[in-house]
Structure 1
Amino acid sequence: MILLTFTRNEAIPKEKVIWPKQYPIYVGDTIGVTTYYQKLHWHDVLEINLIKSGSGYYMINGQRFEFREGDILMINSNDLHCAYEKDNLVMLVISFAPFWLLGNLRYDSEILSPFKEMGAHFTNLLDRDHPSIGLLRDILLELQVEHENERQSFASMVYSQLLRFLALVNREFRMEGVGKPKEKVNSAQLEKVRQVIYAMEEKFGHPWTLEELAALVYLSPSRFSDIFRRVVGSAPLVYLIHIRLERAMILLETTNMKIMEVAYECGFRTLSNFNRLFKQQYGVSPRISKKKNYQITVR
């Protein structure tokens, strides 16, 4: 059994996975992108995504990666990232603990290089036109079949497929130099964004202004807004609305608070504005969302 916990670092929640020692891997399909994963987050696992259908984009450490059916993405531990769906997204997600493969470093010291050298010799989005990309897709799908069928020695089969995948990426997709974006976001800037998002999460009902948020990390509003946009993919106050709407949904689903009380608790100053933004985000009105929750509660 794999448990997900969320802890606070200096900035935003860190997704921490408590792994079973003998089989520290998660394999499963996701349909669409949940509201949590539309928020910037990070975790202590290594992750591989195969896009089975649909399209969307990732924001990873300030870079935007457009993806479509057939693409494969690799996300390193501690990468700041969030995902957005464009249409009909189904994605195979494979995440695993790095310690599972450490023993193999005695035989192949480069087996984890696709993650360790990310940004230097590898990119998060693998070349979709590479001759070996089809073989990589097949390996991941075979890994999923072994995981789901749980036949005798399935853990060894999953392990071997994972090793095969990483070895092939290391052999075929290594580049001498990865092109850097013209305005790369550095680690200090990433940390500033983390700090601001942490403040947003902690005090989501506060009437934040752009000036206040920028002052938290000692930047001018224009400079802060530019960095935030490059890291997250949206303006700071737009992202804040996203956080508030998510908290509102949780309150509607888990409490008996009135809709107006929820709106004010989450920082919305007018009910009409809250209703409009909520429906825009979730496709239903707060009233309908609360009614569904009530029906589930009384049954």
Structure 2
Amino acid sequence: MDLPVQLKDTVAHGNSRYPFAVHETVAVAEGLLMLYLHWHEEAELLMALEGDVYVRINDRTFHMKEGEAAYIEPYALHACYKAGSETCHLLALVFRPDVIAPGREPSLYEDYLAPVLRGTVRFEAHLQKEIDWQNHIIELLRSTHPYCTIPYSRSDLALRGILNEIWSELFLHADAEAAPSRAYARLEPAVNYICENYRFPITISDIAAQVNLSVSRFSALFRDCFHVSPVAYLLQYRLHQCTILLLSTDLTVAEIAFTCGFDNLSNFNRQFRERTGTTPTAFRNEAREIREQQTSLQTERNRIFETFIPSSVTKKPTS
């Protein structure tokens, strides 16, 4: 999937010397959007310190309860919405994956980083407290909270240590996917057909025909493989594309709805509201406002952090 350049995150996450950053976001009762839909080259660990949220990563959305966390791989389109009206507090550790293998040190890079970057090893996205190894990662992530306000020069060693321990746990419990399952391989033409034709009034019969299966057999196999019906997948994909256009273009809501395969504007508005808790127009306006606020806040934070680099780092010793 081509990533819209308009949705690329413009916030700096560390710098060349310190390739990571710890952020926090707090939202009070007004509005449901926490993090606008965006992508960045870095990986991210996101935790709900307070309140429940819905996390969206590419085409998947899950309910992240208070005290749980999420792993977001590099270049993944992601967003976050409040699951209720209460205050929510998020903690994010954003980092360049090569921090795990500085200088591409051969054994570290080939054994622990390259398989993840190639996609042959996949990390668990939703980290839950009830699972011991996942709870260990959650507590490690929680321990980074104080570093939101500590200059990079004083948090470097600690954050590198925490990141390496988290990566080790994720890798130890990762799913190796050297080759796609037979079921997915058989359904891949159908998925590709949805991605290429979602703009048009396609039916489940049209999709099933791509893999020479009856509608009933295709629907059962699709649900077994993707844990969602073909109808729901098509709807989710259309809404996902609508979200991208809402944030990356100036097209009207009606133009976006019809461009993405909805033949009824009222139905589009209803489906969108059911999944986000807000209207398309309000979503667009709130996302733009949050993007501007987050960019401004991080720019100021980076300026302050650089100001507090100890003078002893650059001062020459006196004889």
Q: For this structure pair, what is the TM-score category when the shorter chain's length is used for normalisation?
A: 0.5 to 0.7
Question: Could you tell me how far 1:135 is from its partner in structure 2?
Answer: 2.1
Higher helix share: 2
Q: Deviations over 1:152-211 (max 9, x none)?
A: 863122112101111111113547789733255799868844663256x425xx5x42xx
Shift in Å, 1:36 = 6.7
Question: Which residue number in structure 2 is paired with residue 71 of structure 1?
Answer: 68
The percent identity for this pair of structures is 16
- Quote the offset at 1:141 in angstroms: 3.1
Aligned residue number for residue 226 of structure 2: 180
Q: Offset of 1:139 from its aligned partner?
A: 1.9
Partners of 1:42 and 1:151 lie apart in 2 by 23
Q: Which residue of 2 aligns with 1:57?
A: 54
Q: Is the 8 A contact 1:61 1:79 kept in 2?
A: yes
Matched, 1:202 2:250: yes
The CA deviation at 1:23 is: 0.4
What amino acid sits opposite 1:202 in the alignment?
A: D
Corresponding residue for 1:84?
A: 81
What one-letter code is carried by the residue in structure 2 that aligns with 1:13?
A: L
Q: Which runs of 5+ in 2 are unaligned?
A: 182-223, 292-319
- What residue is the counterpart of 2:26 in the other structure? 31
1:60-209 matches, within 5 Å, as 60-85=57-82, 86=84, 87-103=86-102, 106-108=106-108, 109-112=110-113, 116=117, 121-145=122-146, 148=149, 154-174=155-175, 180-183=226-229, 184=233, 192-193=241-242, 196-198=245-247, 201-203=249-251, 206=252, 208-209=253-254
Q: 1:221 aligns with which of 263, 287, 307?
A: 263
Partner of 1:44, secondary structure, is coil
SS in 2 for 1:52: strand
Q: CA deviation at 1:244?
A: 3.9
Residues 106, 30 of structure 1: CA spacing in aligned structure 2 closer, same or farther, 3 A cutoff? same
Change (3 A) 1:70 1:111: farther
The Cα shift of 1:240 comes to: 2.3
User: Which digits, 9 at most, give the CA deviation of each residue in 1:242-279, with x for residues without a partner?
Assistant: 324667999xxxxxxxxxxxxxxxxxxxxxxxxxxxxx
Quick check: 1:10–1:194 contact (8 Å CA) kept in 2?
no
Provide the C-alpha distance between the structure 1 equivalents of 2:122 and 2:287, rounded to a whole number of angstroms.
Answer: 37
Q: What secondary structure, in the 3-state scheme, does the structure 1 residue paired with 2:163 have?
A: helix
Return the alpha-carbon distance in structure 2 between the equivalents of residues 51 and 106 of structure 1: 35
Distance 1:179 1:163 in 2: 33
TM-score normalised by structure 1 residue count: 0.59
Q: 1:127 to 1:186 in 2, by over 3 A?
A: farther
Contact residue 123 and residue 175 of structure 2 kept, 8 A: yes
Give yes or no for the alignment of 1:233 onto 2:275. Answer: yes
Closer, same or farther in 2 for the Cα pair 1:83/1:149, shift >3 Å?
Answer: closer
How much is the aligned-residue C-alpha RMSD, in angstroms? 4.5
Report the TM-score when normalising by structure 2. Answer: 0.56
User: Structure 1, unaligned stretches of length 5 or more?
Assistant: 1-8, 251-299
Distance 1:72 1:93 in 2: 9
Match in the other structure for 1:273: none
Counterpart Cα distance in 2 of 1:249 and 1:93:
16
Higher relative contact order (CA 8 A, sep 6+): 2
Whole-angstrom distance in 1 between the partners of 2:236 and 2:111? 25
Change (3 A) 1:27 1:197: same
User: Within 2, Cα distance between the matches of 1:112 and 1:242?
Assistant: 36
